[in-house]
Amino acid sequence: SGKEKWPRGDETVWKTNMRGVDADVGDITKSVVNHVQTSLARQAYNLDNLGAYQAAALSVRDNMLVNWNETQLHYTRKAPKRAYYLSLEFLMGRTLDNALLNLDLKSQYKDGINQLGFSLEDLLEEERDAALGNGGLGRLAACYLDSSASQDLPVWGYGLRYKYGIFQQLISPEGNQLEAPDPWLDNQNPWELPRIDVNYEVRFYGQSERLSEGHGRALWTGGQEVLAVAYDVMIPGCNTRNTNNLRLWESKPKRGFDLNSFNAGNYEGAVESSNSAAAITSVLYPNDHTTFGKELRLKQQYFWTAASLADIIRRFKNLGKSINEFPDYVAIQLNDTHPTLAIPELMRILIDEEDLDWNFAWQIVTNVFFFTNHTVLPEALEKWPVPLMEHILPRHMQIIYDIKAVSNTNTFAARIFLQAVEKKFPGDRERLARMSLIEEGFPKQVRMANLACIGSRRINGVAELHSKLVQTTILKDFVEFFGVSKFGNVTNGITPRRWLDQCNPELSKLISSTLKIDKSVWLKDLYKLKDLVKYAADKGFRAEWAAIKQRNKERLAHHIETTLGFTVNTNAMFDVQIKRLHEYKRQTLNILGVIHRYLELKALTPALRKKVNPKVVFFAGKAAPAFFKTIRLIVNVARVINADPETKDYLSLYFLPDYSVSLAEVLIPASDISQHISTAGTEASGTSNMKFCLNGGLLVGTVDGANIEIAEEVGEENVFFFGHLTPAVEDLRYQHMYHPVPVDEACPPLANVLNQISGGLFGDGGVYEPLVNTIRQGDYYLVTDDFDSYIRALAMVDEAYLDRDEWVKKSICTTANMGKFSSDRAIMDYAQEYWNLEPIPVGKD
């Protein structure tokens, strides 16, 4: 068979017609106008901002595609080891601004767009956030994609293309959270490329019949088959041609609809199965730190892991290598336990389709996967009921039982796992029960964290303290079994491109001009910021630094004025807490502190009040139903105190609805102080803490998660710590249980605040009883125990802020010492210590 000649036709014609990145303004206007005419079929006469945005986006996309193609070709030729980041969430936010900055084309597009009579700033606002995530876990995945491309690493992301992202949040006048769907694809999405030719069939339900005794091959047939179709999102690196890929799967019925039913006149039956296929990727589950065991969620997880693995294996097979080399060419990172089904799925492929021996397959599997845990909260640990798994994934349930291999079965059952445990710890039945993949009970449940742990090569937590807690609590038995070297830590990071250069352009400019280095250098080596420390002593520099913060506060105030109609006092200190609402994050502690401050202000004479540090408190965050009440309290406290003529100049409060990546980009640069106040030992890392500090905001926080490492870097004198430490938390909970002390005794100022709420100062106190009672009774998250120390910390913040010169010095030193928290450092850590991956820069050889 003759080899086909590529490219077809005349190679020079191809080569001379390939478009490169063209930074010429004339070329840019030409390309934008072209897209207006031929991609959008619109005209200059009636072009609105949305149309102009779309044309600009398509034009920028052309540039990205050239790089994307080149990168993929380069990777194919070099055939390096690749890593795949499997995440059920990618919280990308907007793309246009980020792409322009990473391609270094922003000023040219600004000019070009201007010449066409539009403003780039306005066009940027037309873009909808891609909000395919809940919070920190999904945003981390997005930062890691940016860093992988920027560091020239051959990393692809795999996720789901949800038709609806995280719900839109509205707040009713009474303070209730209302939820609306997020139809982010309604205006078309210029950043994705449908790949109808890249699709896989994914099976659900049916029967699995073992073809040999014990653990060998099986035949899985019947059930429902659904099609997974790929959509590719280009991920441009900063100051490099490397452009990686995020592949998102959409579910479709395998056939348009069931023709048999259709012909028999059963039209509804005919579309039912197509509806159920399309439903799989219809919506992102809005659960953060909770699992519900829903059938559709399990189907999402399997649909996504099966399609991704099929794709990964197809790409590997194109290399022409033998399957036992799979781990030399592929590393797969499991972002939390959501993709854990990839482990039994790869076993299924290797055994049933590749006909490998069980042990050999297991050896491959356990060298390919890496697992990151993001929380030690028990309610977040995924478990799937065995009957549900047996129903939806009968073959995988067999494989999980084979892995589990209870010693008294005579299915071959690898015996691998529990037998080995039994050998190492003879007679320790409780340990066996704890480590088993199956939790006994009604129903039995599959423990995904245990499966992820035994099926992976290495496991990590996301900050030093958290990784220690993983090793000493939830995975302790596994550390004792496998040895500690299988466990590690990679402290989270954030991309300085989005979280400084893009969201705070003035500060970025000041840094470049002060350090006299191009931003493309320090943005990719964030330790370079260290040199800013010496400018903290420079009065002129401090003035510029402070002026930028002030303008960012005004930008936020302007945003609030235009979107919500409130006038914000920009002469006050801005205090911000933005994150998902959750009991462990303790937004309640913050709002109770606000009420306490309000009551104290009311008690002062007008003359004394004038000496108080004026403060505006901002909250934003979406809530699961269990935490609706906290929002309601915040909104009603705001209603009362913002209207109080005696105090409103000294204290005001806003709950900003519909928190998003884009809103964070306006809030973070404007903050003087931000709150990271989880009960010690509960926040695995936190990443917004890093974003605030990078933008010169200071922290008030507990000794928890990455707060600890931030303080190590920026100096404890620049962080306002409070609260009990992790080792005390268990003891305090024990005391609450067996020697409860009423709040009135334990903390009178807090008791007073709670009584004011119950007494109706913020509307019907009865509404808040359940919320207030979580503190009065049990107080699992130790609000009472930490309240005094919290109030003292806030007083120290006020005192420090009154000495503005010192404050600005702290602010500068904080930014200067944030080098460690670049996601570039974190991703290189994964590449070197976990995946064994090398950078493959495009166009450098």
Catalytic residue set: 374, 579-580, 585, 687, 691
How many Cβ atoms from other residues are within 10 Å of residue 253's Cβ?
A: 18
Query: Using the rule CB under 6 A, is 336 a contact of ligand OX2?
Result: yes
Give strand ranges (E) for 480-579. Answer: 487-489, 573-578
To ligand OX2, the closest distance from the beta carbon of 148 in angstroms equals: 16
Nearer to ligand OX2, 51 or 135 (CB): 135
**Residues 62-91 interacting with ligand OX2 (rule: CB under 6 A):** none
DSSP state of 236: E
User: What gap in Å lies between CA 288 and CA 133, rounded to an integer?
Assistant: 9
Enter the tokens of residue 611.
């000496």
Among 435, 462, 510, 670, binds ligand OX2 (CB under 6 A): 462
Distance CA 60, CA 63 (A): 5
| Binding letters toward ligand OX2, positions 285-304, x by CB under 6 A | ---xx---------------
Q: Give the Cβ contact number of residue 103 at 10 Å.
A: 22
709 binds ligand OX2 (CB under 6 A): no
Residues 782-841 interacting with ligand OX2 (rule: CB under 6 A)? none
Torsion sign, CA atoms 572, 577, 581, 587? negative
* 657 binds ligand OX2 per the rule CB under 6 A: no
Structure token pair of residue 140: 């981390």
- The span of 178-186, 228-236, 668-676, 683-691 binding ligand OX2 (CB under 6 A) equals 683-691
CB of 284 to ligand OX2, least distance (A): 13
Q: Are strands 224-236 and 243-253 parallel, antiparallel or unpaired?
A: antiparallel
User: What is residue 190's DSSP assignment?
Assistant: T
Least Å distance between CB 189 and ligand OX2? 25
Tally the C-alpha atoms within 13 A of residue 26's C-alpha that lie toward its C-beta.
0
Residue 579 contacts ligand OX2 per CB under 6 A: no
Q: What are phi and psi of 180, to 5 degrees?
A: -130, 150
CB of 383 to ligand OX2, least distance (A): 14
Q: Considering only residues 236, 657, 705, 819, which one is a binding residue for ligand OX2 as defined by CB under 6 A?
A: 705
d(C-alpha 180, C-alpha 186), whole Å? 14
**Amino acid code (one letter) for 793:** A
Strands 615-620 and 673-676: unpaired
472-501 residues near ligand OX2, rule: CB under 6 A: 492
CA 225-228-232 angle, 5° bins: 180
**Using rule CB under 6 A, residue 653 touches ligand OX2:** no
Name the residue among 401, 425, 412 with its Cα closest to residue 359.
412
For residue 160, state whether it binds ligand OX2 (rule: CB under 6 A).
Answer: no
**Interaction of residue 135 with ligand OX2, rule CB under 6 A:** yes
Is 136 one of the binding residues for ligand OX2 (CB under 6 A)? yes
Mark the segment that binds ligand OX2 (CB under 6 A) among 350-358, 535-543, 626-634, 681-689.
681-689
What is residue 130's three-state secondary structure?
A: strand
* 552 forms part of the interface with ligand OX2 (CB under 6 A): no
Count of residues that interact with ligand OX2, criterion CB under 6 A: 18
Q: Does 305 bind ligand OX2 (CB under 6 A)?
A: no
47, 277, 635, 684: which one binds ligand OX2 (CB under 6 A): 684
DSSP 8-class letter at 5: P
CB of 492 to ligand OX2, least distance (A): 5
Span 164-193, contacts to ligand OX2 by CB under 6 A = none
Q: State yes or no: residue 374 binds ligand OX2 (CB under 6 A).
A: yes
Q: Is 676 in the site for ligand OX2 (CB under 6 A)?
A: no
Span near ligand OX2 by CB under 6 A; candidates 258-266, 374-382, 607-615, 719-727 = 374-382
Residue 131: CB atoms within 10 A of its CB come to 27
- With CB under 6 A as the contact rule, the residue among 108, 199, 687, 815 that binds ligand OX2 is 687
**Angstrom distance (rounded) from CA 358 to CA 417:** 13
Per the listing, tokens 């104290």 go with 600
Sites of contact with ligand OX2 (CB under 6 A): 135-137, 140, 288-289, 336, 374-375, 380, 462, 492, 683-687, 705
